[in-house]
Amino acid sequence: MKRTLILFLFLIVSSSSIFAQKYNDIKFKIANYDNDTLLLAYFYGDKQLIKDTIYAKKKGEFEYKADSLMDEGVYIALFYPKKDYIQFLVNNNESKFTLNLDYNDISKVKPKGSDDNKLFFEYLDYISEKNNLAMSLNQKKDSLTKNNLDIGDIDTKLEDLDNEVNAYQIKLIDENPKSLTSLLIKANRDIKVPEFTGTQDEINKQKYLYYKKHYFDNIDFNNDATLFTPFIYNKVDNYIKNLTPPIPDSINQSIDYILGLMKPQSDIWQYFVSSFLNKYARSMYVGMDAVYVHIVEKYYASGMTPWVDEDKLIQIIDSALKMKNVLIGNKAPNLVLYKDDGTPVDLYSINSDYIVLEFWKPDCGHCKAAMPDIIKFQEDFRDKGVKVISVCTKMGDKISECWDKVKELNMENLFLNLGDEKNQSNFHSVYNVQTTPTIFVLDKNKEILIKNIPADKLGEIMLELMKEQEEKNNSSE
């Protein structure tokens, strides 16, 4: 009986140790810090978010105990009232540690219980020392250059310094491959581009292609901690902004490439899918709605974002479908609209080299400001194969306001003025008209050349479109 009881107790102890919940316990011991408050924050993509406020247990001593393991990555301890701070690492293989420092010199932090933080702060000290040396050498170089003196010796010292830092980083990464310190250092190392031969243009192109291809070589997208660092958002953003041609098809390819480097539905994948969606939903650049549509179709409408609320998902997909109808390069949807006397007009029946389709309403402040520019535009381009169709968005018994305004502005013989009293064409949805004025430029085949452009730039843009079309016609002859 006693033996059975001992065995039973052993099983209970064993089970409790197996299922014991791990958590973080981080202590801060700060000499010469009189404030009783410390703010704990962390990096998350492009943001710095507050984790918690920590109050002193006694002067200069703070402790943060998490209910469970925290997300690994780079964290911030913010001091009051000056709001200066230190950055440190949370590595859950070392969930309990202490950071010792003096508030009079917060650059010197001495960790206890965390080899990763020890490595991190030693590296910061080393880099700070080498940066100071580099600054001193560069100052001497500037002085010698201004006085037309030889700078060869300085350049040699700078090159030696660079090689020394490079060797230090490689050694640290090789010896500590699983540390967060290595993850951070490796991710911020420059890509070494080999030498190429050929003309200067050929060399530049090869260097660009190589750099672009290997740009993410040092980024560990399979480590969730990468999302919780100060570099990852800027790294990805730079790839889109500076290494990708600013056209929708190229941006779509880059987005697919970046997301393809990540594990689908991982935290970092979810973050960037959402980040890209929000960025291109808000983009003010003409034509970037095509990127939004691509993201929705490939990732949201395909069932790859199960964390999104169903109602929200329906809203996202619906907005993309409306945008898709009128993407630049697509054929404009046909509309049947009506003149003042009720005569129907089929958009596709209108023959003109270019059609400017403008949706407006008479009591819209932006429309009032834009209409003089559009009137002048039509006067300037009437004999150049350009026809303006003004579509008043008022409906029902308010449509009479449209015709009154047309007469007031002497638009009767200048534009083809149309409306849709009973909303039979559903133009708001078909053309995704959310604000007025909304302007589309179509070619003779009713293809959308450009849209959502300001009225005061219409003439300038039309000349560019005509020039492009002329060059295209000449090249095809």
**What is the rounded distance in angstroms from the CA atom of residue 340 to the CA atom of residue 418?**
7
Exposed/middle/buried for 224, CB within 10 Å: 0-12, 13-18, 19+? middle
Percentage of the chain lying above the pLDDT 70 cut: 95
pLDDT at 12 over 70: no
pLDDT higher than 90, residue 178? yes
Q: 451, 286 in Cβ contact below 8 A? A: yes
Residue 11 vs residue 388, higher pLDDT: 388
Name the nearest CA neighbour of 40 among 65, 12, 19, 22: 65
**Residue 476 banded pLDDT, cuts 50, 70, 90:** low
Mean pLDDT score across all residues of the chain? 93
* Residue 17: predicted pLDDT: 43
Residue 474 banded pLDDT, cuts 50, 70, 90: confident
List Cα–Cα distances, 305 to 258, 259, 295, 438, in angstroms.
17, 13, 11, 32
User: pLDDT tens digits for 313-356?
Assistant: 999 999 999 999 999 999 999 999 999 999 999 999 999 999 99
Among candidate residues 272, 228, 270, 267, the one with its CA nearest the CA of residue 91: 228
For residue 232, the one-letter residue type is I
Beta-sheet strand order (sheet of 438-443): 416-418, 386-392, 354-360, 438-443, 448-451
In the predicted structure, residue 5 carries a pLDDT above the cut 60: no
**Under a CB-based contact definition with an 8 Å cutoff, are residues 237 and 81 in contact?**
no
Nearest to 415 by CA among 464, 327, 366, 350: 350
Residues of the chain with pLDDT > 90, as a percent, come to 88
- Report how far apart, in Å, the C-alpha atoms of 323 and of each of 197, 410, 422, 425 are: 46, 33, 23, 17
The residue type of 296 is: V
Cβ(450)–Cβ(465) below 8 Å: yes
Cα(433)–Cα(426) distance, integer angstroms: 10
Residue 461 pLDDT exceeds 80: yes
Q: Does residue 21 register a pLDDT over 70? A: no
The closest alpha carbon to 402, from 383, 386, 415, belongs to 415
- The reported pTM is 0.87
Burial class (CB in 10 A: 0-12, 13-18, 19+), 442: buried
Residue 189 confidence class, pLDDT cut points 50, 70, 90: very high
Report which DSSP code applies to 282.
S
